Amino acid sequence: MQNVVPVQLRQVRDFGQIITDTFQFLKQNRGPLFRAIAVICLPIGLIAGFLMGKTVGDIQSLAFGMGAGDPDTMLRGLITNFIPMIIGYLLVIVAYVLLISVVHEYIRAYSLGEHHMITTKDLWDRARGQAGTYFGTGFLSGLLIMVGFILCILPGFYPLTVLSLVFICHAIERTGATGSMARSNNLVKDRFWETLGLILIIGLINMVISYVIMLPFTIVGFVVGFNNVLGAVDGSGGGVTWLGTFTAIQMAVQMAVGMLIHPISSVAMGLKYFTLVEEKEGAGLRQKLEGFEQA
């Protein structure tokens, strides 16, 4: 059997090599990485998806069932479902902050050669310690990106691209929130279009994978929704009673799928970071030379 060569992070890669090595990295490290995601992040994401889906489904049931045409019933339904929806959104934030922390702390451990014996508890301790910084980094970056897209679509793509390396910058260099934003901008500004292209292609890959997995739920959801509309029209209310449960399960599964494919984009942008660092600074070459000198 031919031995599989571990993915080397600190090297220059072209566009195709980044895509190929992203999936190779995930394949080689699927055990410790996805085990940690399943234990630390996935339960929170499933609960969040279920709460939000149940809320949406219940509101739809009211709209097509007993609450149709009755503003008071609809208002009571919205008030009743307000707290579960808020809790669901808060849990989504917690789940994704932990997810970003776990994935990037694993990449950091891999870059330092500490991944061979790393456990889920180790990743939990590292992710928990850095979660606040990852949250702050994501909040500030997301705010700038949101403002850009509010102003116009094209201005939105600029901060999305130049800030695309903020998490991996902090993971590897411990630059903090504002330092990571400045570092990411400095690395990407001369490689804007190729970085934007990578973001779009990885986003497309994630979207296709998610669509294929969720297709059965989409079909069933369309049928259920169509039956509910017909039931509301003819007064039978057919299918309305279990719409909330179905929507809750559907959104929980969708949340799980989104979290499990999220590492694709994180690893791809991580490899882009190492490529840009090597191109501009030759860090990997300097490390090898220092190693030879020490030997």
- List pLDDT tens digits, range 100-144: 999 999 999 999 999 988 999 999 999 999 999 999 999 999 999
Q: How many helices (H) and strands (E) does the chain have?
A: 11, 0
Measured CA to CA, the distance from residue 161 to residue 184 in angstroms comes to 9
- Are the C-beta atoms of residues 265 and 203 closer than 8 Å to each other? yes
- Higher-pLDDT residue of 139, 80: 139
Q: Residue 157 contacts by C-beta under 8 Å, 6 or more apart in sequence?
A: 148, 196
**Cα dihedral 164, 268, 256, 33 sign:** negative
* Cβ–Cβ < 8 Å for 278, 8: no
- The mean of the pLDDT values for the chain is 85
Residue 223, pLDDT > 80, answer: no
Give the pLDDT confidence score for residue 268 in this predicted structure.
Answer: 97
Residue 239 has pLDDT above 50, yes or no: no
| Orientation of helix 243-281 relative to helix 166-173, angle to 10° | 60
- How confident is the model at residue 99, as a pLDDT? 97
What pLDDT was estimated at residue 3?
63
Structure confidence at residue 156 as a pLDDT band (50, 70, 90): confident
pLDDT at 40 over 60: yes
